[in-house]
Structure 1
Amino acid sequence: MIRIACRLLLAGGLLGLLMGCSPLKVLNAFTPGGTFTRTADLGYGSDPRNRLDIYTPVDAPADAPVVVFFYGGSWNSGSRTDYSFVGEALASRGIVAVLADYRLYPQVHYQGFLDDSARAVGWTRQHIREYGGDPDRLYVMGHSAGGYNAAMLALDPKWLATVGMKPSMLSGWIGLAGPYDFLPIENPEVKPVFYFPNSPPDSQPINHVSAASPPALLMAAKDDTLVNPERNTGGMAKQLRELGVPVRELYFSKPGHATLVAAFSRPMRGLAPVLDEVVRFVHGQDRTR
């Protein structure tokens, strides 16, 4: 079934649907359920959107590595339930996946979604042993706007400080087509989120890189037309590298901005080895511990 779906997707039969109104549900429909145990709708805060789901690998050894994933959507849309295929992908490789919702615009502006992201990570560190994860092998990962959230938690200490943590408590961070240096803002959907034209320079991840930043894995679509890969992924990698922070930087020719994260799904994995690279990064960091 998965092979048939893959051929249809790559041939264009479902690829158009993937870019349509409910693309992620198509991928979730082809996500098997035998690789994980899902614990759903756990609260990490008081707001209705302060909820997360945990995907624990089946038959995984105790104290597995943990990845907290934040989805994209220009900080004004998205739901963790749309990304079950990401949770399954990570769990199938022995990683405990935490998929978190966070408040969106117009309910909040910058900085509200970062407050939520930090709370989700703080909750995870405190509770993840109950779900088979090791709080000392903790990573943050995000796609697009979610990549921004992950970057800010990893680079600007003030966010994790609100939950009694430091970026050094993260084993690393993973950015997929993340915007890390995007002032002045051009996207009309994003302008009000960051108070355009008075967007604070402090909102940019690129301005918080230090020699103490956690190791990073940065991936992007080579021809991304929404988030410029040279300026954002390339600029971030350069800044980290110049300060001696370990960073792996990868660009893929087949996926676009949206389909980069879709490559976690079983039908779309032929687009780019994003899952393999995440697993390689996590295991590589384990070896340096």
Structure 2
Amino acid sequence: MRKLIIILLLTALHPAFAQDVVYSIKTDIHYYTDSINKTDKYINERCILDLYYPTKQKNFATVVWFHGGGLTGGSKEIPKALTEQGIAVIGVNYRLSPKVKSPAFIQDAAAAVAWAFKNIANYGGDPKLIFVAGHSAGGYLTAMIGLDKQWLKADGIDANDIAGLIPLSCQAITHFTIREERGIPDKQPVIDKMAPLFHVRGDAPPLLLITGDREMEMLGRYEENAYLARMMKIAGHKYTTLYEIQGYGHDMTAPGLPLLLNEVRKIVAEKNKKGSPSGQ
């Protein structure tokens, strides 16, 4: 675990990712098929995404971003800190409780990521450089679809093809909204198949866990992530990193997003190095 004291890294503004690039945005793209949208009014209304991308650049990385809101609220967003950085950002809406029950929102998250894999090349992006990230409930969705392979498999995608998982302040135990659906008190921790911790595995994509200060975070949030990081390493995963951002509580995206960008750049650089003709 690495502690950070309100560090906004200057490397997060690396000019190589931002100079002389033109960006475009396409909004309200349906990520389910027309046949599904026509048969479900709520899916047609809610299951849409926005795509922000560099228009004159090729083989760029993409971050699929899931908003927070406890699985009961919130709307798709393109975080400003991720714009003009030489990458694409996909902001995703997903269905919400109580209009739907679990696992509908997890299925939506997987469908949105599958859309990215199947379509980003049409906009110039590299489908081998798709990262999944989100804050709070969005972090939970990130971890679930990245660690439990069944969700993306339903859309014909191998979760191991994700370039990196970057959940911010995610719930690593079973989410409190899902526990509430089952009549379980919010202070009673549960780890079952609806918990990222249930699906620790050594062959998962690189995992960067970011939380706020353990003394300021939501109930047990840092400790859940610390346990997830430890169990991933015990399972043989070599690419798990945990950051605790001191001085910030649950609302820690401002210092967290530069860390996300650094992780994206690091992995992109490593993949490009491996793919170079000389291998150097």
Match of 1:204 among 185, 192, 195: 195
List per-residue Cα deviations over 1:84-103 (Å, max 9, x = no partner). 3x1x3223211110010000
Q: CA deviation at 1:141?
A: 0.3
- Conserved in 1, the CA contact under 8 Å of 2:222 and 2:244? no
Question: Is 1:151 aligned with 2:133?
Answer: no
Q: 1:58 to 1:252 in 2, by over 3 A?
A: farther
Q: 1:227 to 1:175 in 2, by over 3 A?
A: farther
Aligned to 1:173: 165
**Structure 1 gaps, min length 5:** 1-33, 264-271
Aligned to 1:249: 242
Match of 2:50 among 50, 53, 59: 53
- In structure 1, how many angstroms separate the alpha carbons of the residues matched to 2:184 and 2:95? 22
- Conserved in 2, the CA contact under 8 Å of 1:90 and 1:97? yes
Q: What letter is aligned with 2:240?
A: V
TM-score, reference length from structure 1:
0.75
- In structure 2, how many angstroms separate the alpha carbons of the residues matched to 1:288 and 1:244? 20
Cα RMSD, aligned residues only? 2.1
Aligned to 2:264: 282
Q: CA deviation at 1:58?
A: 5.8
Q: Superposition pairs for residues 62-81 of structure 1, below 5 Å?
A: 62-80=58-76
- In structure 2, how many angstroms separate the alpha carbons of the residues matched to 1:130 and 1:63? 11
- In structure 1, how many angstroms separate the alpha carbons of the residues matched to 2:221 and 2:74? 22
Identify the structure with the greater helix proportion.
1
Q: CA deviation at 1:215?
A: 0.7
Q: Superposition pairs for residues 1-289 of structure 1, below 5 Å?
A: 36-45=23-32, 46=37, 47=43, 48-57=45-54, 59=56, 61-80=57-76, 83-84=77-78, 86=79, 88-182=80-174, 185=176, 191-193=179-181, 195-197=182-184, 201-222=192-213, 223-245=215-237, 246-258=239-251, 260-261=252-253, 263=254, 272=255, 274-289=256-271
Aligned residues: 235
Q: CA deviation at 1:35?
A: 6.7
Q: CA deviation at 1:224?
A: 3.5
Q: 1:103 to 1:286 in 2, by over 3 A?
A: same
- In structure 1, how many angstroms separate the alpha carbons of the residues matched to 2:158 and 2:148? 9
Q: CA deviation at 1:200?
A: 7.5
- In structure 2, how many angstroms separate the alpha carbons of the residues matched to 1:165 and 1:39? 24
- In structure 1, how many angstroms separate the alpha carbons of the residues matched to 2:22 and 2:226? 35
- Conserved in 2, the CA contact under 8 Å of 1:96 and 1:132? no
Q: CA deviation at 1:53?
A: 0.2
Q: What letter is aligned with 2:81?
A: A
- In structure 2, how many angstroms separate the alpha carbons of the residues matched to 1:138 and 1:156? 17
Greater displacement, 235-244 / 221-230 = 221-230
- In structure 1, how many angstroms separate the alpha carbons of the residues matched to 2:112 and 2:150? 15
Q: CA deviation at 1:57?
A: 3.1
- Conserved in 1, the CA contact under 8 Å of 2:102 and 2:178? no
Aligned to 2:8: none
- Conserved in 1, the CA contact under 8 Å of 2:135 and 2:167? yes
What's the secondary structure of 1:241's corresponding residue?
helix
